[in-house]
Structure 1
Amino acid sequence: MLIITIKQGKEKGLLAGDPLIYASAVEKVDGKPQERNKLGTTAIVQSSSRRFLARAAYNAKSQIVARVWTLREDEPVDHAMMKRRVQAAVAARGDAWRAADPQALFLLVDGDRDGLPGLLVHSYGGAAGYLVCQFNAAGVELWKVTIVQALIAATGCANVFERSDELVRKGEGLPVFWRALAGEEPPQRLMVKDGGRVVPMDIRTGFVYPK
């Protein structure tokens, strides 16, 4: 496993709850070359005095070199964690999601707030509709299959589409995709409630059609 050593004094933000570790805060990264080159691989983060600080997803191609998964030394980063966090995110918004206007894009998973840094999931049409996912960081990209399976299980929605934020993913050194990950791809044009109006939109890209 990789070990990221933080410069003396730079651990304060991390301990205060900031989940992002920038390249400027890192003293050194120890580990095998194949691990260092694997985007999203789990690393142990330690202080300059070698005290455990966190487990994080490492990305050598980004200025945000690591995103924290957990501050608990006894919590492994594994399939069970991903499933647990997806389930918790859906459960926390479940009542609101089920009561939401089916024409609205409902934010179901909200990245750092849900312990899934870089992941955004919007729902359209409830359980019978579509989940539109943005994997904007290497850690959630690495766990994509597990996350999609957990989303389907937690929501009962069989249609999952990946919508890339091109600028963000390129900045993370990740390939850009717009594709169905499970089930059917959304239609090119749907009517979407945006505030107090309903507009024609391609939810696969976020493009709003002119009226």
Structure 2
Amino acid sequence: MLIITIKQGKEKSLLDKQPWIYASAVEKVDGKHEERNKPGATALVQSSSGQFLARAAYSPKSQIRARVWSFDQNEAVDHALVKRRVKAAVAAQAGAKGDHIALITGEANGLPGLLVDWHGGKQGYLICQFNAAGVDAWKVPIVQSLIAETGCANVYERADELMRKGEGLPVVEGALAGDEPPDETLLIEKGQRYIVDLKTGHKSKAG
């Protein structure tokens, strides 16, 4: 496992449970060469005195050098964590109404950099953006958990080019499971009718 040591005096934000670790706060990164160059590798984060601070996803090319998975020393970063957090996010939206639900919004759901919009219920589409190296590395179990918890079989990845390039990730888009969404989908928001291309997010008022 990688070990990220934080510069003396720079650990305050982590002690305050802030989830981002900037490159300027990192004193050193110890671990195998391949792990130190692998986007999304799990790292133990410690203070300059060796105190445990967090477990985080390492992103060697990003200015946000790591994003915290957990501040609990006893919580492992594994498939079970991913499943728990996806399940909790879906459960939190159980009473949501409408054709469009902002299902997962990154750090708020303990899945840093992941955005998931759910359109059209079980017969609709889950539109995902993996905007950070950590969630990108756990893409397969995330998608499996989303399908299991929502009952929606169609999962599509939309790429935010700027975000992914900033993380050193390839810009990829396409169906991750099931079918691609159609070019035009009717969306009703606050009484207004829109035509949306779910693949790109482009939206225009319906005539």
Q: How does 1:1-211 map to 2 (within 5 A)?
A: 1-96=1-96, 100-102=97-99, 105-209=100-204
Scaled by the length of structure 2, what TM-score is found?
Answer: 0.96
Residue ranges of structure 2 left out of the alignment (5+ in a row) = none
Scaled by the length of structure 1, what TM-score is found?
Answer: 0.95
Residue ranges of structure 1 left out of the alignment (5+ in a row) = none
SS for the counterpart of 1:95 is coil
Q: Cα distance, 1:185 vs. partner?
A: 0.4
Amino acid at match of 1:69: W
Q: Deviations over 1:47-92 (max 9, x none)?
A: 0101111000001110000000001111110011001110011111
Once residues 169 and 194 of structure 1 are traced to their aligned partners in structure 2, the CA distance between those partners, rounded to angstroms, is 29
SS for the counterpart of 2:115 is strand
SS for the counterpart of 1:141 is helix
- How many equivalent pairs are there? 206
Once residues 194 and 166 of structure 1 are traced to their aligned partners in structure 2, the CA distance between those partners, rounded to angstroms, is 26
Once residues 203 and 195 of structure 1 are traced to their aligned partners in structure 2, the CA distance between those partners, rounded to angstroms, is 19
Once residues 203 and 91 of structure 2 are traced to their aligned partners in structure 1, the CA distance between those partners, rounded to angstroms, is 30
Once residues 194 and 14 of structure 1 are traced to their aligned partners in structure 2, the CA distance between those partners, rounded to angstroms, is 38
Q: Cα distance, 1:178 vs. partner?
A: 1.8
RMSD: 1.1
Once residues 136 and 198 of structure 1 are traced to their aligned partners in structure 2, the CA distance between those partners, rounded to angstroms, is 29
SS for the counterpart of 2:93 is helix
Once residues 172 and 183 of structure 2 are traced to their aligned partners in structure 1, the CA distance between those partners, rounded to angstroms, is 16
1:95/1:209 Cα in 2 relative to 1: closer, same or farther (>3 Å)?
closer
Q: Cα distance, 1:14 vs. partner?
A: 1.0
